[in-house]
């Protein structure tokens, strides 16, 4: 029997929200595994900076400055990708925002903003990507970052888990609908990682250690530690994994 194939050579991957954080770590790992990557974000300077960083390492990377929350513009952006680069073999739904408020505190506008960006945008982009893969005969991969917050809940953070649980449903709906085309859909549920958005929390002298203490590994995750799961699910080694949520949290969500 041949060894499992974890190579992404010759593949084109679109990773949303990949100018920094977990998205950039995934893009970097895909590029190191042989893929060409499309870096996405709203901030042109940040996107171009990420592309230049990968290019300086000898990797193939292209910019896509797009606000994924502008739902009516998604199709035009995706068509432009196809025209200029071809149909992506891999889509990673990574973009997410968080509004840490209780339902009583959250306004309707805040609820709609979070649901549109964290859930609806991923649903629509997955629809575009999966249909394009099917039409092109590509046995593609769709990987969606959910969260351990999609399985758990806590006071004062009511809307985010709703969207993330919705993404879990999206993972399975895509798996069922597009599996017949050889397209797999899986999710990654990250725990607490020291990304740019979490740095202040991790550095807090009280809350940072408290979060670490709840984890069986006794620490926060580092962004590069998401890479193995992301590469695996995108690779031929995961060809029979479909509709699965892979938790990457150091064991945080299994303790009480």
Work out whether strand 245-248 and strand 141-145 pair parallel, antiparallel, or are unpaired.
unpaired
Q: How far is CA 175 from the centre of its chain?
A: 16
Model pLDDT, residue 97: 87
Q: Is the pLDDT of residue 9 over 80?
A: yes
Identify the CA nearest to 48 among candidates 39, 36, 37, 60: 39
178 three-class SS: helix
145 three-class SS: strand
Residue partners of 209: CB distance under 8 A and separation at least 6: none
Structure confidence at residue 104 as a pLDDT band (50, 70, 90): confident
Structure confidence at residue 196 as a pLDDT band (50, 70, 90): confident
**CA separation for the pair 208, 212 (Å, rounded):** 6
Strand partners, 86: none
| Average pLDDT over every residue of 171-184 | 98
Beta-strand runs (E) in 49-156: 61-65, 90-93, 141-145
Q: Is the pLDDT of residue 249 over 80?
A: yes
> Can you give the pTM of this predicted structure?
0.95
Identify the CA nearest to 77 among candidates 177, 88, 25: 88
HSE (side-chain half, CA atoms, 13 Å) at 138: 21
Token pair in block for residue 228? 């193995």
Active-site residue, 30 included: no
Structure confidence at residue 199 as a pLDDT band (50, 70, 90): confident
pLDDT digit string (tens) for 25-62?
A: 999 999 999 999 999 999 999 999 999 999 999 999 99
| Average pLDDT over every residue of 207-221 | 95
Q: How many CB atoms lie within 10 A of CB 108?
A: 7
Residue partners of 171: CB distance under 8 A and separation at least 6: 144, 146, 185, 186, 187, 243, 244, 245
**CA separation for the pair 82, 136 (Å, rounded):** 11
Q: Is the pLDDT of residue 102 over 90?
A: no
CA distances from 69 to 73, 85, 119, 120, 125 (A): 9, 23, 10, 8, 10
How many residues are present in the chain? 256
**CA separation for the pair 14, 207 (Å, rounded):** 34
Model pLDDT, residue 198: 87
Its CATH architecture, for the domain 12-249, is 3-Layer(aba) Sandwich (3.40)
Active-site residue identified among 30, 62, 78, 160: 160
* Mean pLDDT value across the chain: 95
Q: Is the pLDDT of residue 125 over 80?
A: yes
Residue boundaries of the structural domains of the chain: 12-249
Structure confidence at residue 154 as a pLDDT band (50, 70, 90): confident
What's the CA angle centered on 181, arms 175 and 182, to 5 degrees? Answer: 70
Identify the CA nearest to 85 among candidates 31, 10, 163, 158: 10
Q: What is the CA radius of gyration of the chain?
A: 18
Structure confidence at residue 85 as a pLDDT band (50, 70, 90): very high
Token pair in block for residue 256? 């009480």
| Average pLDDT over every residue of 63-77 | 95
């Amino acid at each position: 029997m041949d060894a499992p194939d974890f190579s992404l050579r010759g593949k084109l991957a679109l990773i949303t929200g990949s100018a920094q954080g977990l998205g950039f770590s995934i893009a970097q790992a895909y590029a190191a595994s042989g893929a060409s990557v499309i870096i996405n974000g709203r901030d042109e300077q940040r996107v171009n900076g990420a592309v230049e960083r990968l290019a300086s390492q000898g990797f193939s990377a292209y910019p896509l400055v797009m606000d994924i929350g502008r739902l009516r513009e998604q199709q035009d952006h995706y068509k432009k990708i196809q025209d200029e680069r071809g149909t992506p073999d891999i889509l990673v739904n990574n973009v997410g925002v968080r509004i840490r408020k209780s339902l009583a505190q959250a306004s309707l506008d805040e609820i709609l903003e979070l649901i549109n960006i964290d859930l609806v945008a991923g649903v629509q982009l997955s629809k575009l990507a999966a249909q394009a893969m099917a039409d092109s005969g590509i046995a593609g991969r769709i990987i969606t970052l959910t969260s351990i917050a999609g399985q758990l809940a806590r006071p004062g953070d009511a809307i985010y888990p709703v969207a993330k649980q919705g993404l879990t449903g999206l993972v399975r709906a895509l798996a069922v609908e597009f599996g017949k085309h050889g397209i797999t859909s899986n999710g990654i549920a990250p725990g607490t990682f020291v990304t740019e958005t979490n740095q202040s929390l991790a550095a807090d002298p009280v809350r940072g250690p408290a979060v670490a203490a709840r984890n069986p590994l006794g620490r926060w995750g580092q962004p590069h530690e998401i890479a193995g799961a992301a590469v695996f699910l995108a690779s031929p080694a995961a060809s029979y994994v479909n509709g699965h949520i892979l938790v990457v949290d150091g064991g945080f969500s299994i303790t009480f």
